[in-house]
Structure 1
Amino acid sequence: MSTVIAFIVIFGALVIFHELGHLIFAKRAGILCREFAIGMGPKVFSHKFGETIYTIRLLPIGGFVRMAGEDPETVEIKPGYRIGLMFDSNNKVDKIILNNKEKYPNCRVIEVEHADIEHELVIKGYPEDEEESLQTFRVSKTAVTIENGLESQIAPYNRQFASKTLAQRTMAIFAGPMMNFVLAFIVFVIIALLQGIPTNEPKLGEITADGAANAAGLLKGDIVHSINGAEISSWSDVVEIIRENPNENLDFSISRNGEEKEIVVTPKEQTVEGDKIGIIGVYSPIEKSPLKAITTGFTETYFWTKQIFMMLGQLVTGQFSIDMLSGPVGIYESTATVAKSGIYYLMKWAGILSINLGIMNLLPIPALDGGRLMFFAVEAVRGKPIDRHKEGMVHFIGFALLMLLMLVVTWNDIQRFFL
């Protein structure tokens, strides 16, 4: 159960941060965001706040932000339609009832002659409640259409994704992967603040109860000046001498609270990868510094970004097979293994997964954020966007291929772990 909870928390954080990036920068650009969803498939929970419906969906395989102009839920009101209109205090249409008009006795029913709720924001028609000529009704920018009892806010063209500048659209898409790198940075900083940062000072860290250091009388915080007469300038020097002298008496010259001491320590022998080394049961010294924690956040994020790109390079050169890829099942199993090592390792795993998600989404693959950005790059070169229907077809094919790849990878994971 703890593994399930850990997986849900990690998955939820990765998806929420990713989609939050899209949401924040889309709203900053003035794009109407209809829905912020975590997961796919049927809705399990939904709550409307402002213009956006926040939902949790059944299948934990991603999430999305549904932006006006990018979703299929466009309402077309054609001439001859009979619709109901309701008005706000400024006598502008704020509700357009498409069917079941009998449930809204106060609405004004008209036969549509012309309607434009994207650019002109007008509806022209003949009212049925009186014998009058053609009338024009102004539509509020925040009006809603009602169909089968469900409300959907209209999207004037200036609130649609396509109406925004290339820079605004690019940022709205790029912000998702960007936020995954931000999440990883935050996680690494928190780890550094809580756990501390290893230093290279010749100073003893935590002492294990069953180690040779504890038996000899060494204490946490002791500063090592020399071992067997050899001057010590770093923690690396301490580790090197101990590893090279299993079962040998070592004379430690230390200072403790300003007092010099000489202590003899005999490292225990341990075999690691066929080699016999010495250990005394001492952890490296750590330092807790907010400034260094921030620096560590940057360096860790850079390091793991570089590692993942190196693995991608192996994939391109053929040194990386599909059997080395993991889907949700593989990630769950890996999370279960990492969780056994403790909360800090689990947090680090979450940071690595977040970077991985950010990089994968930036790849120029149709249906992913990188595929969208690739089309924007082509638009910047051409000076005009590619036909939306052609672009949509490319993304649809890309999505289908990605789903096929996910099925193959998931089946490999199931065979590897359960069969």
Structure 2
Amino acid sequence: METFISVVIIFGLLISFHEFGHLLLAKRAGILCREFAIGFGPKLFSIKKGETVYTLRLLPIGGFVRMAGEDPEIIEIKPGHRVGLMFNNAGLVNKIIINKTAKYPQAKMVTVEHADLEKDLLIKGYEQEDGELISYPLDRKADYVVDEQGYQIAPLDRQFGSKSLLDRFLAIFAGPFMNFLLAFIVFIIYFSIQGVPSDAPKLGKLVQGDPAAKAGLHQGDRVIKIDDHTIDSWKDIMIYVNQHPSEELSFTIERNNHIRHVDVTTNERKSPEGGKEGFMGVYAPTEESFIGTIKGGVTQTYFFIKQELIGIKMLVTGAVGLDQLAGPVGIYNITGKVVNQGFLLLLNWTAVLSINLGIINLLPLPALDGGRILFLIVEGLRGKPVDPQRETLVHFIGFALLMLLMIVVTWNDIQKIFLQ
């Protein structure tokens, strides 16, 4: 249960930041945002603030911002359609009742001859069959009501496609950018609690039961020499210890302005290169510094972005296979292990996942933000947009392929869990 709650909170946070980026820049550009949704599937909760309905949906595996003009309008009013009209104090139509008009006895019933809800913002129609054709101007924020649910009309200048190339690019790019920003913020919190790694020739936290603690070394001890080797940094300590597995080393340290000598016999473990290396159970020293915390946030965010790009390159070149990818099941399993190792590691894992989400979304693949940006780049080069129907088809095919990939990755995740 603890793992499930952690996953829901983490994914909710990542998705919320991502979609909030889209929402913020879309609204800044004047785009009508009909819905801000966390999750997919049936609605669990919804509330309308201003023009936007904020919803929480059943499946916490994504989210979306429904911008006017990206999808076909929910309803099309055609000639001969009988609708009810309601007016504001200025005499402009502010509600168009599409069906169940009997529930709105105060509405004026009109048989539509012509309706333009995007450009001219008017409805022309007849109150009586042999009556006069009358034009009814619309309020720019008028709603059309379907099954007693109101949907705001979208004048052309409020639609996604009517905005400049730069505004549309920013509205799309803002989602992944917010994931990078979230990672930066989480790393700052992490370093504020944990401390900023330092290269000073000092000892950080000691692992109880490991050689350093057994020998009597303390956190904060300044190492002057190891054997006859002068130490100037934490890196010097690590290099020397790694080079001497299962050996007794003589540490010359300074503690409380006194020089002491402590002998430590290192343990042995397998090195990343496959050989042997020594270790004694000491973490790097840390320091408290506001500037260092900010710098640490930047450095860690850059490092993991770089590592993610290297991983994608290896996947594309075939250096690693699809079996190395982790889907929702794999991430859930890893998160469960991280939760058991403490809050700080969970913070670090949250930041890494946020970077992962940002990078993946920027890949130039259909149905992802990167694919949409690619179409905008093509539009900029051509001087005109790609046919909307073709773009929709490409995104649909891309989404289907992504779902197929997700199934394959999930199957691999399940196999790994049961083979552990």
Deviations 1:152-198 (A, max 9, x none): 11111111111101111111111111111111111112111110122
| Aligned residue number for residue 223 of structure 2 | 224
| Aligned residue number for residue 262 of structure 1 | 260
Kept in 1, the 8 Å contact 2:38–2:63? The answer is yes
| Aligned residue number for residue 323 of structure 1 | 323
| Aligned residue number for residue 34 of structure 1 | 34
Aligned pair in 2 of structure 1 residues 245, 418: CA closer, same or farther (>3 Å)? closer
| Aligned residue number for residue 352 of structure 1 | 352
| Aligned residue number for residue 203 of structure 1 | 202
Task: Find the aligned partners of 2:232 and 2:392 in 1 and give their Cα distance.
Answer: 62
Task: Find the aligned partners of 1:276 and 1:116 in 2 and give their Cα distance.
Answer: 76
Kept in 2, the 8 Å contact 1:364–1:370? The answer is yes
Kept in 2, the 8 Å contact 1:202–1:232? The answer is yes
Task: Find the aligned partners of 2:310 and 2:244 in 1 and give their Cα distance.
Answer: 37
Aligned pair in 2 of structure 1 residues 234, 151: CA closer, same or farther (>3 Å)? same
Task: Find the aligned partners of 1:408 and 1:213 in 2 and give their Cα distance.
Answer: 46
Equivalent AA in structure 2 for residue 417 of structure 1: I
| Aligned residue number for residue 118 of structure 1 | 118
Aligned pair in 2 of structure 1 residues 404, 269: CA closer, same or farther (>3 Å)? closer
Percent identity reads 54
Kept in 1, the 8 Å contact 2:269–2:279? The answer is no
Aligned pair in 2 of structure 1 residues 108, 411: CA closer, same or farther (>3 Å)? same
* Aligned positions of 1:125-204 closer than 5 A: 125-128=125-128, 133-204=132-203
Aligned residue for 1:24, secondary structure, equals helix
Q: Does 1:312 find its partner at 2:299?
A: no
| Aligned residue number for residue 59 of structure 1 | 59
More off after superposition, 155-164 vs 331-340: 331-340
Deviations 1:51-105 (A, max 9, x none): 1111111122211110011123332212221111111111111111111111111
Aligned residue for 1:14, secondary structure, equals helix
More off after superposition, 167-176 vs 68-77: 68-77
| Aligned residue number for residue 299 of structure 2 | 299
Task: Find the aligned partners of 1:263 and 1:69 in 2 and give their Cα distance.
Answer: 74
Q: Does 1:411 find its partner at 2:404?
A: no
Equivalent AA in structure 1 for residue 15 of structure 2: V
Following superposition, the deviation at residue 332 of structure 1 comes to 0.8
Aligned pair in 2 of structure 1 residues 11, 383: CA closer, same or farther (>3 Å)? same
Task: Find the aligned partners of 1:278 and 1:103 in 2 and give their Cα distance.
Answer: 80
Aligned pair in 2 of structure 1 residues 215, 408: CA closer, same or farther (>3 Å)? closer
Following superposition, the deviation at residue 331 of structure 1 comes to 1.1
Following superposition, the deviation at residue 260 of structure 1 comes to 2.7
Following superposition, the deviation at residue 211 of structure 1 comes to 4.6
Aligned pair in 2 of structure 1 residues 280, 329: CA closer, same or farther (>3 Å)? closer
Kept in 2, the 8 Å contact 1:206–1:285? The answer is yes
Kept in 1, the 8 Å contact 2:267–2:280? The answer is no
Aligned pair in 2 of structure 1 residues 275, 162: CA closer, same or farther (>3 Å)? closer
Aligned residue for 2:48, secondary structure, equals strand
More off after superposition, 397-406 vs 407-416: 407-416
Kept in 1, the 8 Å contact 2:33–2:51? The answer is yes
RMSD: 2.1
Following superposition, the deviation at residue 415 of structure 1 comes to 2.5
Following superposition, the deviation at residue 300 of structure 1 comes to 1.2
Kept in 1, the 8 Å contact 2:249–2:266? The answer is no
More off after superposition, 286-295 vs 335-344: 335-344
| Aligned residue number for residue 95 of structure 1 | 95
Deviations 1:291-324 (A, max 9, x none): 1111111111111111111121122222222222
Question: TM-score, normalized by length of structure 2?
Answer: 0.93
| Aligned residue number for residue 342 of structure 2 | 342
Following superposition, the deviation at residue 266 of structure 1 comes to 2.8
Aligned pair in 2 of structure 1 residues 415, 266: CA closer, same or farther (>3 Å)? closer
Q: Does 1:369 find its partner at 2:338?
A: no
Task: Find the aligned partners of 1:242 and 1:375 in 2 and give their Cα distance.
Answer: 54
Following superposition, the deviation at residue 214 of structure 1 comes to 4.4
| Aligned residue number for residue 283 of structure 1 | 283
Following superposition, the deviation at residue 209 of structure 1 comes to 4.3
Structure 1: where are the runs of 5+ without partners?
Answer: none
Aligned pair in 2 of structure 1 residues 109, 194: CA closer, same or farther (>3 Å)? same
Task: Find the aligned partners of 2:244 and 2:298 in 1 and give their Cα distance.
Answer: 37
Task: Find the aligned partners of 1:275 and 1:25 in 2 and give their Cα distance.
Answer: 52
Aligned pair in 2 of structure 1 residues 250, 65: CA closer, same or farther (>3 Å)? same
Task: Find the aligned partners of 1:343 and 1:357 in 2 and give their Cα distance.
Answer: 21
Following superposition, the deviation at residue 205 of structure 1 comes to 2.2
Aligned residue for 2:105, secondary structure, equals coil
| Aligned residue number for residue 12 of structure 1 | 12
Aligned residue for 2:140, secondary structure, equals strand
Task: Find the aligned partners of 2:278 and 2:377 in 1 and give their Cα distance.
Answer: 57
Question: TM-score, normalized by length of structure 1?
Answer: 0.93
Equivalent AA in structure 2 for residue 206 of structure 1: K
More off after superposition, 155-164 vs 295-304: 295-304
Aligned residue for 1:80, secondary structure, equals coil
Kept in 1, the 8 Å contact 2:123–2:135? The answer is yes
Task: Find the aligned partners of 1:106 and 1:142 in 2 and give their Cα distance.
Answer: 20
More off after superposition, 379-388 vs 57-66: 57-66
Task: Find the aligned partners of 1:233 and 1:125 in 2 and give their Cα distance.
Answer: 87
Kept in 2, the 8 Å contact 1:34–1:68? The answer is yes
| Aligned residue number for residue 50 of structure 2 | 50
Kept in 2, the 8 Å contact 1:196–1:286? The answer is yes
Kept in 2, the 8 Å contact 1:246–1:276? The answer is yes
Task: Find the aligned partners of 1:104 and 1:35 in 2 and give their Cα distance.
Answer: 26
Task: Find the aligned partners of 1:147 and 1:208 in 2 and give their Cα distance.
Answer: 65
Kept in 1, the 8 Å contact 2:241–2:266? The answer is no
More off after superposition, 158-167 vs 40-49: 40-49
Kept in 2, the 8 Å contact 1:379–1:386? The answer is yes
More off after superposition, 208-217 vs 52-61: 208-217
Task: Find the aligned partners of 2:71 and 2:176 in 1 and give their Cα distance.
Answer: 21
Deviations 1:221-266 (A, max 9, x none): 2222223343221122233444455676544433333x23222323
